[in-house]
């Protein structure tokens, strides 16, 4: 080593220290983080503020004293968004349109849907049980009902017979679904208990064979079934926390990695919720039910500078997770996680450096408690630029001597992320924006399986018998087969709300007679006239592209400006249409739907999902078969996984992801990212 290296090295470290300590400001425009408990909305779509929630509560109490006395309970409270046209026309500096709250409540065992006008101080609409079903559960519902089993002598006896100490019991509330008259006219919930002895991962220690159904309002046991004890799986190997594991890991360590942004992040978050990055502008907000809503996404045309509308609103409308076990205690496991539980409150604070990279900016959520008090959910959403070493576009040229063409551009994207822990499962939702106009939506599943106890410890013990309801994934533990479906509401407004059409671009095989080829594929376009034309099941042997175009906007070549939906890996629900869970989850009967825009049709399983009977689903709306050509239309896409568990899913499952894309087609005149400059070494820190 030369003598000069040491001081140089030192200098270099110093330099790194100086740059690195100053580069990770959360948002380049402001040094302090936005206060998400602030007083005022700044944008027509901003979520209700804390003072607005308090005001809504006061107005409700004036309207119905039950809200003051506690006999009427608030299950959900969210901004009742102003009309789309008003939001689109609104500009910074304009007055905010009148603010309204939509409230889902329960009183006297009945569902209520109320609209509270915060400006006039009046309840402008108050509907009792407009459809079957009840609002999303409150945390109080879940906690109170999980204590109900202990009121039952029979339950206590069953637990004692199993030799489980009461102090080790933890009871959770798999939802009830809806299976006919027994569950009608009252709110019910199923309860299942686990042993948390010697583990935090109680999900892997089910007390199988003991099932309860509880009345959620009277808080009493309706039914208890004890099919006799099943061995409770041991706690061995269930630990997942770093620092508590006792087995060595035979793997070389990976050094820490993070991304350098010497000049800071390139995105801005204005007034807490308005995101500006590269050519994109969109509004992002936390939501109790959907978790995260992206609104009014526009992209600037790099040729004209015009801000062009792409998507008015995109969010997870419902999640449907049916388990494949008809046994007592299991048949009802068919969850609707958004409408029964809510993805917002279950999105706990993200873990910096692990859930989101170092250069992330965090957004808090604000939700109403059952009494209408605002509750802050810190660091619920993160926003970050991603550079994963991928290429945006490239070409190198060998056929032109002397030109030495090596053109390449890095792919940098902007990701908005949220992670919900809906009981045992974790879902990570990413909305990823690319400079070339593409939006990629990814859902990744992780967390704990919902497992079933079994007497078997080894596959050999089964003898000639088939697997029970799924594979053995640990001693006495069955990973029950199930599906996950995530249904997205995608209100695409390509260059405005009007004049949008859905075009099925079909690849049709042509048979040839007088050619050296015998067959080839030809593109034919079909414009969907009505909603039924747009009920689509994906099929590899009958391929389509799915375009949304603006018929009133053409490129210089006369192609209609459009975006296409690009499905990714997917799975279909194979349950029969008359199966009760499938009636409620009818929005999974097709992977793609297009409906006429209707501001009350947002939740694919219905506004009141809990114990609903499926009369307010996307299937029902779409079957009205309204005209959808050349209008304001909404695209719906459901992505799914079949999940056959395996041993690697124990004790916590590695993430499994699926995604889809919304990609411009003839929307721009040419490649919109041609002009972006390459990265150069001189712009990055030296060390
Ligand atoms: C945010 O604003 C609220 C209401 O004005 C205030 O009570 C709170 O202390 C503020 N939080 C921070 C971190 O400044
Ligand atoms: C059941 O056992 C629990 C725990 O020992 C006790 O608190 C509860 O009172 C018992 N319930 C009945 C009905 O005996
Ligand atoms: C249709 O296009 C014309 C010309 O660009 C424009 O002036 C008009 O506003 C558009 N109509 C609608 C409904 O968007
Ligand atoms: C666009 O929509 C408007 C109003 O909905 C209609 O009047 C107009 O004819 C449409 N334009 C085209 C090109 O279809
Ligand atoms: C809008 O949706 C609601 C709920 O599905 C329905 O009652 C109403 O008839 C719809 N309106 C139109 C114009 O389709
Ligand atoms: Cu799964």
Ligand 2 pocket test target in 149, 150, 160, 169 with most atoms within 8 Å of CB: 150
Question: Residue 572: what pLDDT?
Answer: 98
- Can you tell me the distance from the alpha carbon of 52 to that of 658, in angstroms, rounded to the nearest whole number? 38
Q: Are 94 and 86 in contact (CB under 8 A)?
A: no
How far apart CA 530 and CA 284 sit, in angstroms, is 31
Ligand 6 centroid to Cα of residue 347, in Å, is 18
- Residues having CB within 6 Å of any atom of ligand 1: 35, 37-38
Per-residue confidence (pLDDT) for residue 96, from 0 to 100: 97
Q: DSSP letter at 650?
A: S
Atom of ligand 5 nearest to the CA of 600: 2
Judge if 32-128 and 275-350+379-385+412-464+483-501+527-644+656-678 fold alike in CATH terms.
no
Split at pLDDT 50, 70, 90, the class of 17 is: very low
Computed over every residue of the chain, the mean pLDDT equals 93
Is the C-beta atom of 551 inside 6 A of ligand 4?
A: yes
User: Using a 6 Å cutoff on CB, does residue 109 contact ligand 3?
Assistant: no
Taking residues 454-470, report their average pLDDT. Answer: 89
Task: Please say if the pLDDT value at position 3 is more than 80.
Answer: no
pLDDT tens per residue, range 415-458: 999 999 999 999 999 999 999 999 999 999 999 999 999 999 99
Atom 6 of ligand 2, residue of closest alpha carbon: 150
Name which residue sits closest to atom 12 of ligand 5, judged by CA: 598
Q: Domain residue spans in the chain?
A: 32-128, 275-350+379-385+412-464+483-501+527-644+656-678
What is the structure's pLDDT at 198?
96
> With contact defined as beta carbons under 8 Å apart, do 626 and 150 qualify?
no
Other beta carbons less than 10 A from residue 85's beta carbon: 10
Q: Is the CB of 499 under 6 A from ligand 4?
A: yes
Nearest ligand, CA 113: 5
In this prediction, residue 32 carries a pLDDT of 67
Q: What is the DSSP string of 610-643?
A: BT--SSSSHHHHHTT--B-TTB-EEEEEEEEEEE
pLDDT above 70 as % of the chain: 95
598 pocket-lining for ligand 5 (C-beta < 6 Å): yes
What is the largest distance, in Å, between two alpha-carbon atoms of the chain?
A: 89
Q: From the CB of 527, is ligand 4 less than 6 Å away?
A: no
Instruction: Ligand 3, residue 496: give the atom nearest the CA.
Output: 14
Instruction: Tell me, using a 6 A CB cutoff, whether residue 498 lines ligand 4.
Output: yes
Is any atom of ligand 5 closer than 6 Å to the C-beta of 597? no
User: Rounded to the nearest whole angstrom, what is the distance from the C-alpha of residue 638 to the centroid of ligand 6?
Assistant: 16
Residue 182's pLDDT band (cuts 50, 70, 90): confident
Cα(496) to centroid(ligand 3), Å: 9
Which tens digits make up the pLDDT trace of 250-279? Answer: 999 999 888 878 888 999 999 999 999 999
242 lines ligand 2 (CB under 6 A): no
Residue with CA at minimum distance from ligand 1 atom 13:
35
Q: Which ligand 2 atom is nearest residue 156's CA?
A: 1
Take atom 5 of ligand 1 and give the residue whose Cα is closest: 38
Q: Which ligand is nearest to the CA of 152?
A: 2
CA distance 548 to 158: 58
Ligand nearest to the CA of 634: 5
Residue pLDDT, tens place only, 131-149: 999 999 999 999 999 999 9
Does residue 599 carry a pLDDT above 50? yes
**89 alpha carbon – ligand 2 mean position (Å):** 61
Q: Is residue 496 in contact with ligand 3, taking CB distance under 6 Å?
A: yes
* 603 CB near ligand 5 (under 6 Å): no
Q: Kindly tell me the burial class for residue 618, based on how many C-beta atoms sit within 10 Å of its own C-beta (0-12, 13-18, 19 or more).
A: buried
309 CA → ligand 3 middle, Å:
13
Is ligand 3 within 6 A of the CB of residue 309?
Answer: no
Pair 557, 549: CB distance under 8 Å: no
306-342 pLDDT tens trace: 999 999 999 999 999 999 999 999 999 999 999 999 9
Of 171-175, 201-205, 230-234, 389-393, the poorest mean pLDDT is in 171-175
Residue 50 Cα: closest atom of ligand 1: 4
CA of 88 to the centre of ligand 6 (A): 39
Give residue 15's pLDDT: 39
Pick the CATH number of 32-128 from 2.60.40.10, 3.30.2020.30, 3.10.450.40, 3.40.190.170: 3.10.450.40
Residue nearest to atom 12 of ligand 1 (CA): 35
Atom of ligand 1 nearest to the CA of 38: 2
117: nearest Cα among 136, 103, 134, 105: 103
- pLDDT by residue (tens digit) across 72-117? 999 999 999 999 999 999 999 999 999 999 999 999 999 999 999 9
Take atom 14 of ligand 2 and give the residue whose Cα is closest.
153
Say whether the peptide bond before residue 651 is cis (omega within 30 degrees of 0): yes
Angle at 470 between CA 466 and CA 476, to 5 degrees: 90
Mutate to test the pocket of ligand 1, among 37, 373, 378 (most ligand atoms within 8 A of CB): 37
What mean pLDDT comes out for the span 158-173? 94
Tell me if 151 CB under 6 Å of ligand 2: yes
* pLDDT reading at 31 higher than 80: no
pLDDT value at 675 more than 60: yes
Cβ burial of 331 (10 Å; 0-12, 13-18, 19+) is: middle
Rounded distance, CA 593 to CA 290, Å?
19
Q: Determine the pLDDT at residue 687.
A: 62
pTM: 0.94
pLDDT, residue 594, reads 98
Q: What is the pLDDT of residues 550-574, one digit of tens each?
A: 999 999 999 999 999 999 999 999 9
CB atoms near residue 369 (< 10 Å) = 17
Interval 190-210: pLDDT, tens: 999 999 999 999 999 999 999
Nearest atom in ligand 4 to 552's CA: 13
What is the pLDDT at residue 666? Answer: 98
Using the atom order of ligand 1, give the atom closest to the CA of residue 33. Answer: 13
Q: How far is the CA of 36 from the centre of ligand 1 (A)?
A: 8
HEC-encoded secondary structure of 225-267? EECCCCCCCCCCCCCCCCCCCCCCCCCCCCCCCCCCCCCCCCC
> How much is the average pLDDT of 600-622?
97
The single-letter DSSP state of residue 339 is I
Task: Please check the confidence at residue 12 and state whether its pLDDT lies above 90.
Answer: no
The domain 275-350+379-385+412-464+483-501+527-644+656-678 having CATH identifier 3.40.50.300: the answer here is no
The tens digit of pLDDT for each residue in 526-558 reads 999 999 999 999 999 999 999 999 999 999 999
- Report how far ligand 2's centroid is from the alpha carbon of 177 (Å): 28
Record the tokens describing residue 631, joined without a space.
């209008």
Is residue 224 classed exposed, middle or buried when 0-12, 13-18 and 19+ CB atoms within 10 A define those classes? middle
461: Cβ below 6 Å to ligand 3? Answer: no
Cα of 642 from ligand 6 centre, angstroms: 7
Look at residue 27 and tell me whether its pLDDT is greater than 70.
no
**Which is the closest atom of ligand 2 to the Cα of 151?**
13
Task: Give the residue numbers marked as catalytic.
Answer: 337, 425
Look at residue 481 in the predicted model and tell me its pLDDT.
97
Ligand 4 contact, 630 CB (< 6 A)? yes
Q: Is the pLDDT of residue 19 over 60?
A: no
Q: Separation of 30 CA from ligand 1 center, angstroms? A: 17
């Amino acid at each position: 080593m030369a003598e000069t290296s040491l001081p140089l090295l030192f200098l270099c470290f110093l330099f790194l220290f100086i740059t690195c300590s100053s580069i990770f400001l959360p948002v380049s425009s402001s040094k302090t983080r936005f206060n998400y408990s602030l007083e005022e909305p700044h944008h027509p779509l901003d979520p209700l503020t804390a003072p607005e929630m308090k005001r809504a509560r006061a107005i409700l109490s004036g309207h119905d004293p039950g809200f003051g006395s506690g006999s009427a309970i608030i299950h959900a409270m969210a901004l009742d968004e102003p009309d789309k046209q008003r939001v689109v026309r609104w500009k910074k500096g304009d007055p905010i349109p009148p603010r309204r709250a939509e409230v889902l409540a329960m009183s006297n065992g009945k569902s209520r849907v109320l609209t509270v006008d915060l400006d006039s101080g009046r309840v402008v609409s108050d509907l009792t049980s407009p459809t079957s079903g009840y609002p999303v559960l409150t945390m109080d519902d879940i906690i109170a009902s999980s204590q109900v089993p202990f009121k039952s002598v029979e339950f206590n006896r069953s637990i004692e017979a199993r030799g489980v100490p009461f102090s080790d019991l933890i009871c959770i509330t798999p939802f009830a679904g809806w299976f006919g008259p027994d569950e009608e006219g009252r709110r019910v919930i199923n309860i299942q208990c686990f042993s948390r002895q010697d583990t935090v991962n109680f999900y892997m220690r089910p007390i199988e064979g003991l099932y309860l159904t509880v009345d959620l309002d009277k808080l009493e046991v309706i039914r208890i079934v004890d099919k006799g004890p099943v061995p409770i799986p041991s706690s061995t190997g269930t630990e997942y926390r770093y620092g508590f594991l006792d087995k060595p890991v035979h793997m070389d360590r990976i050094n820490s990695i993070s991304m350098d942004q010497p000049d800071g992040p390139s995105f801005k978050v204005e007034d807490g919720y308005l995101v500006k990055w590269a050519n994109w502008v969109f509004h992002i907000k936390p939501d109790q039910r959907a978790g995260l809503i992206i609104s009014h996404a526009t992209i600037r045309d790099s040729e004209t500078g015009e801000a062009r509308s792409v998507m008015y609103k995109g969010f997870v409308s419902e999640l449907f997770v049916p388990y494949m076990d008809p046994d007592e205690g299991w048949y009802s496991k068919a969850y609707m996680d958004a409408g029964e539980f809510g993805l917002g409150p279950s999105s706990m604070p993200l873990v910096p450096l692990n859930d989101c990279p170092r250069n992330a900016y965090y957004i808090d959520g604000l939700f109403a408690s059952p009494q209408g008090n605002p509750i802050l959910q810190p660091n619920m959403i993160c926003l970050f630029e991603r550079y994963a070493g991928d290429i945006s576009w490239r070409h190198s040229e060998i056929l032109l001597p002397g030109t030495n063409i090596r053109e390449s551009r890095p792919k940098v994207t902007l990701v908005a992320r949220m992670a919900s822990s809906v009981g045992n499962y974790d879902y990570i939702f990413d909305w990823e924006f690319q400079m070339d106009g593409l939006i990629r939506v990814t859902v990744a599943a992780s967390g704990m399986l919902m497992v079933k106890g079994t007497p078997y410890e080894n596959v050999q013990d089964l003898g000639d018998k088939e697997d029970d309801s799924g594979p053995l994934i640990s001693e006495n533990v069955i990973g029950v087969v199930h599906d996950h479906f995530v249904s997205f509401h995608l209100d695409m407004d390509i260059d405005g709300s009007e004049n949008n059409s859905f075009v099925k671009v079909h690849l049709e095989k042509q048979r040839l007679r007088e050619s050296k080829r015998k067959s080839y594929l030809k593109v034919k376009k079909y414009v969907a006239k009505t909603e039924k034309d747009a009920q689509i099941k994906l099929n590899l042997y009958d391929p389509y592209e799915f375009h949304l175009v603006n018929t009133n906007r053409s490129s210089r070549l006369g192609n209609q400006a459009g975006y296409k939906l690009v499905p990714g890996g997917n799975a279909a629900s194979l349950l029969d249409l008359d199966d009760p869970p499938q009636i409620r989850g009818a929005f999974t009967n097709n992977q793609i739907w297009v409906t006429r825009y209707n501001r009350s049709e947002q939740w694919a399983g219905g506004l009141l999902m809990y114990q609903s009977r499926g009369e307010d689903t996307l299937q029902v709306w779409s079957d009205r078969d309204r005209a959808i050509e050349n209008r304001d239309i909404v695209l719906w896409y459901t992505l799914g996984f079949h999940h056959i568990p395996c041993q690697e899913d124990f004790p916590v499952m590695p993430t499994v992801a699926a995604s889809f894309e919304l990609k411009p087609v003839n929307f721009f005149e040419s490649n919109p990212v041609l002009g972006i400059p390459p990265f150069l070494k001189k712009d990055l820190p030296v060390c």
